[in-house]
């Protein structure tokens, strides 16, 4: 069984912000897998898919970004998810806007949602897909930037990045080894 989590904030006012890239991308993954977000459990909005007879849980935590780990921990416990079957998709200020980076493991970096997941679960060796959001031409504090709405002229760039991240997550859920997913989907520098 797989768990794919897209990080974001649940309120409508955050819908088009940089911090919701994970929510958007997990929606693209759900679409690729033929799943719809229909229920709420474990402090998350959840969609279910079946791939080759294996269940895939797709989730958007409803705990707000900084407490994302609560929902992830609950879902992992409820569904008995192994660390190697967890994948988290999130925005990353440390990457240039529109870049997609996939890793088999790592640290939280500057991301509070990832800090929460690592802190709550005690795990670090799980796959993650990062969607770059940094714009070299914008000089405002990170907290203000991540909660800002994406500029209309940047919509196509971020829509493409989220779609790519969603497709990569779907490949992972279909059983493609994370190293192969990385080779196939990591953006060029």
**Residue of 19, 73, 97, 99 with catalytic role:** 19
Inter-residue long-range contacts of 162-165, CB under 8 Å, 24+ positions, other chains counted: 162/21, 162/24, 162/25, 162/28, 162/131, 163/25, 163/28, 164/100, 165/21, 165/25, 165/28, 165/29, 165/89, 165/100, 165/129, 165/131
Residue with tokens 């890793």: 103
Q: What are the DSSP calls for 84-137, one per residue? A: GGEEEEEEEEEEETT-EEEESS---TT-HHHHHHHHHH----SEEEEEEEE-TT
19 a catalytic residue: yes
Pairwise CA distance, residues 167 & 182, whole Å: 12
Q: Which residues are catalytic?
A: 19
């Amino acid at each position: 069984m797989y768990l794919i989590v897209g990080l974001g904030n649940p309120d409508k006012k955050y819908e088009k912000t940089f911090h919701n890239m994970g929510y958007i991308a997990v929606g693209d993954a759900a679409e690729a897998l033929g799943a719809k977000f229909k229920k709420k459990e474990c402090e998350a909005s959840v969609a279910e898919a079946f791939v080759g007879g294996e269940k895939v849980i797709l989730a958007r935590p409803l705990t707000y970004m900084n407490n994302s780990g609560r929902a992830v921990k609950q879902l992992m416990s409820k569904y008995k998810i192994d660390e190697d079957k967890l994948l988290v998709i999130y925005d990353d200020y440390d990457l240039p806007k529109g870049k997609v980076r996939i890793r088999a493991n790592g640290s939280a970096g500057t991301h509070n949602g990832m800090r929460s997941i690592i802190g709550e679960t005690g795990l670090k060796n799980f796959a993650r897909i990062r969607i770059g959001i940094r714009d070299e031409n914008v000089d405002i504090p990170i907290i203000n930037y991540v909660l800002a709405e994406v500029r209309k002229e940047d919509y196509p760039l971020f829509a493409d990045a989220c779609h790519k991240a969603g497709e990569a997550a779907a490949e992972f859920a279909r059983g493609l080894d994370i190293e192969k997913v990385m080779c196939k989907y990591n953006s060029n520098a």
